[in-house]
Structures are given as structure tokens and as C-alpha cells.
Amino acid sequence: MHTRSSLIGTLIALLVGLPVQAQQLSKINFTAIEQAVNNAQSKYYFPKLAERYKRNDTTLTKEEYKHLYYGQVAAAGYAPYGKKSKEGSAELGLTE
């Protein structure tokens, strides 16, 4: 019985000592992202980033992915529900 309580105490001590991992929260500046993705001179210009993404560019950075993700809704031609093509199938994402 004493061994059992010692084992439980040891397990509790180990579990309490484990580092707790959580998501790192960051503040998103939507205004700055909107300006960057719509500025043709910006390295975050949405059409350029979208083209790199479509080409499966492995050099895209976390910051560029953040601009792609959050900037998509601010980009010209954004269609959240897709657009019907001539054949009637839905084309999702940006319309061209």
C-alpha cells in the first residue's frame, strides 16, 4: 500500500513538472496586410505570392504564408463561394 501511494505521488510530481505546450498567439495587423497584398511594389503583393504558391515554391516564408492566408480576402477578385465557369463547374478562390 505504501509503495502504491509513493508511485502515485511520483507520477503526479512528474506530470506537474512536464512543460505545458500551447499555441503562440500573435496579433495580426490586418490593415498592414491588406495594404501590402494590394501594393504591386510590395514583396507581399498577393498575385505574386499566389503564383509562387501555385508553383509549389518551397522558399515561401512564414511571413509570406501569413500574408497569403490573411490577405486573400483583401485581394482583388476574391470570391469566397467561387464563380461559375462557362461549363457550370465552380472555380474556387480568386477569379481571373
3-state secondary structure the chain: CHHHHHHHHHHHHHHHHCCCCCCCCCCCCHHHHHHHHCCCCCCCCHHHHHHHHHCCCCCCCHHHHHHHHHHHHHCCCEEEEEEECCCCCEEEEECC
Given this model, what pLDDT does residue 93 score? 52
- Structural domain spans, the chain: 27-94
pLDDT band at 52 (very low <50, low <70, confident <90, very high): very high
Span 37-45, average pLDDT: 95
